[in-house]
Amino acid sequence: MKITGFDTFDVRFPTSRQLDGSDAMNPNPDYSAAYLIVKTDAAGPDGDQLAGGVLAGYSYVFTIGRGNDIQLNAIRALEPLVAGLDLDSDLDLGGLSRRLIADSPLRWLGPERGVVHMAIGAVVNACWDLAARRAGLPLWRLLASLTPEQIADLVDFRYLADALTRDEAIGLLERGAEGKAERIKLLERDGFPAYTTTPGWLGYSDEQLAALCRAAVAAGFDQVKLKVGAKLEDDVRRIQIAREAVGDRVAIALDANQVWDVPTAISWMRALARFEPDWIEEPTSPDDILGTAVIRREISPVRVATGEHVANRIVFKQLLQAGAIDVMQIDACRVAGVNENLANLLLAAKFGVPVCPHAGGVGLCELVQHLAMFDYVALSGTTERRFIEWIDHLHEHFVNPAVVRDGRYVAPTAPGASTQMWSRSVAEYSFPDGAAWS
C-alpha cells in the first residue's frame, strides 16, 4: 500500500462579511484552508468523493484569505518527497518529519519557519490522520498508545539539547504514563475544558459582545477571551461590558494579536490590570522572546500567553528558558505538524508551563484537541489551568467536527485526526470558482 500523491484545494470562507475573526492586527480575515488530501492506493471508505474512494489522510494549513494559494503551492512542492512511500515499510512518521525538515533546498526558504514549515506541517498532519484511520483510532488515542521510546523517536531533538534531551523526554513520558488508563476514562466521560473567544471579536458591537458573553456563561464556559489593542478606551468599555455579562466567577482573558511593542504593552496592560484579566495573549511580536519576558516581568501578576504564531520548537524553547510565558499556546498548523508539537508539549512539561492550545480558524479546534488530550492523558496528567480555545465557527464543514458541551471538548471517538472536510463544503467554498464566491 503506497501513497500515490496529493490533491489540494483552495478553500476560503467569506468570514470578513460579518467581521467574524476581526482583531487589532487582522481587521477582516476570510478564514481559509489550504486543504490537502494525501491519497493512497488502498481501498477506503467511499464517503469522500474528493478522495475517489481510496484511503486518504486529510489536513490543511489555516490562513486568512489572500495567500492561501501561496501556501497550497508550497504544500504541492512536497509531493515528490512523499509520493511512492510504502505505508507499512516507509511510513515512519519520525523519519518522515525529520527528512522533510532537513531537506536542504526547502530548508533554505525558512529555515523552519513560514510557508514551507507550515506546508511540512500539513503533510505530516495528513500522514498522522492517515495513520490514525488505519489504526482505527482517534489521533489522541493512537498517540496515547505509544511507549515513551516511540514518542521520543517521533521528536526532532535538534537544537533542543540545552533544554531537553531524549532521556529527559522519556523520563517525562514515563512519569506521565502513570494513571494514563484512568485519565483516558475520565476524559471520555468528562471531556477537556474549553474557553471561548466567540464573543470577543473586535468588529462586534457592544450589544453583540454582551449577548455572546451571556450565551457563553449559559453554555457552561469558565473563561471568555476578548480582543484588545486597537483603542484603550474601547478596551476598557468592552471589558466592563463583558465583566457585567459574565459575572465574577468567569475569567476574562485578553488578546492583543501582536499589535504592541514592549513599552506599549507594559503601559497598556498596566491600565487594564485592574480588571484582573486571566492572561494577556500575544502582547508583542511572536519572535520577541526577550521583549515578551520583559513584559511578563513588568505586568505581573497578569499572566502572559503566546504561541499561535511561534515558528517552531526552538522559539518555544527560548520562551520557556527566558521565563517569558505563563501559558504556552501551541497551534496545530503553524509548526511542522504533530511531531514538532510533541516536542513543544515535552518542552512545556519540562518547564512546568501549562499548554492551552490556540484554536478557532478553520479546523484548528478539530486537530489541536487531539494534542491537548494526548498531553493530558500521557504527559501533563492534569487539566488544571488548561483550556483549549473554542470558537463556534465553521465546524459544520467537518465530517467529524469538534464538539463542545457544557464548556468542555468531547473526546473524539472517530478514527483519524478529525481533519476531513465534507466534499460539498470544499466544492462550495473553493476559491474563486465555488458557489460561495460567485
SS3 per-residue string spanning the chain = CEEEEEEEEEEECCHHHHCCCCCCCCCCCCCEEEEEEEEEEEECCCCCHHHCCEEEEEEEEEECCCCHHHHHHHHHHCHHHHCCCECCCCCCHHHHHHHHHHCHHHHCCCCCCHHHHHHHHHHHHHHHHHHHHHHCCEHHHHHHCCCHHHHHHHCCCCCCCCCCCHHHHHHHHHHHHCCHHHHHHHHHHHCEEEEEEEEECCCCCHHHHHHHHHHHHHCCCCEEEEECCCCHHHHHHHHHHHHHHHCCCCEEEEECCCCCCHHHHHHHHHHHHHHCCCCEECCCCCCCHHHHHHHHHHHCCCCEEECCCCCCHHHHHHHHHCCCCCEECCCCCCCCCHHHHHHHHHHHHHHCCCECCCCCCCCHHHHHHHHHHHHHHHHHCCCCCCCEEECCCCHHHECCCCCEECCEECCCCCCECCCCECHHHHHHHECCCCHHHC
Residues with catalytic function: 227, 358
Q: Pick from 59, 258, 380, 383 the residue near a second copy by CB under 8 A.
A: 258
Q: Considering the complex, what minimum distance in angstroms separates the CB of residue 274 from a second copy?
A: 24
Shorter beta-carbon distance to a second copy: residue 77 or 251: 77
* Part of the chain binding a second copy (CB under 8 A), chosen from 195-203, 309-317, 382-390, 423-431: 309-317
- Whole-angstrom distance, CA of residue 150 vs CA of residue 275: 45
CA 75-313-268 angle, to 5 degrees, is: 105
Shorter beta-carbon distance to a second copy: residue 177 or 202: 202
The interface with a second copy within residues 91-150 (CB under 8 A) comprises 103-118
183 to 222: interface string for a second copy, x by CB under 8 A: ----------------------------------------
Q: Considering the complex, what minimum distance in angstroms separates the CB of residue 26 from a second copy?
A: 4
Q: Considering the complex, what minimum distance in angstroms separates the CB of residue 28 from a second copy?
A: 8
**312 counts as binding a second copy under rule CB under 8 A:** yes
Q: Considering the complex, what minimum distance in angstroms separates the CB of residue 407 from a second copy?
A: 29
162 to 181: interface string for a second copy, x by CB under 8 A: x-------------------
345 to 384: interface string for a second copy, x by CB under 8 A: ----------------------------------------
Written as nine digits, the cell of 332 is: 496545530
Contact 155, 335 (CB under 8 A): no
**84 counts as binding a second copy under rule CB under 8 A:** no
* Part of the chain binding a second copy (CB under 8 A), chosen from 89-97, 233-241, 316-324, 410-418: 316-324
Shorter beta-carbon distance to a second copy: residue 48 or 308: 308
Residues touching a second copy: how many (CB under 8 A)?
61
**25 counts as binding a second copy under rule CB under 8 A:** yes
Q: Pick from 216, 315, 346, 391 the residue near a second copy by CB under 8 A.
A: 315
Q: Pick from 43, 161, 181, 435 the residue near a second copy by CB under 8 A.
A: 161
Shorter beta-carbon distance to a second copy: residue 30 or 235: 30
Shorter beta-carbon distance to a second copy: residue 4 or 26: 26
The interface with a second copy within residues 49-68 (CB under 8 A) comprises 63-67
- Whole-angstrom distance, CA of residue 365 vs CA of residue 402: 6
Q: Considering the complex, what minimum distance in angstroms separates the CB of residue 382 from a second copy?
A: 28
Contact 33, 62 (CB under 8 A): yes
- Whole-angstrom distance, CA of residue 33 vs CA of residue 397: 11
Q: Pick from 121, 148, 283, 286 the residue near a second copy by CB under 8 A.
A: 286
Shorter beta-carbon distance to a second copy: residue 321 or 400: 321
Q: Considering the complex, what minimum distance in angstroms separates the CB of residue 52 from a second copy?
A: 27
Q: Kindly list the residues in this chain that would bind a second copy in the complex (CB under 8 A).
A: 25-30, 63-67, 69-71, 73-74, 77, 103-118, 158-162, 258, 261-264, 284-291, 294, 309, 311-312, 314-315, 317-318, 321-322
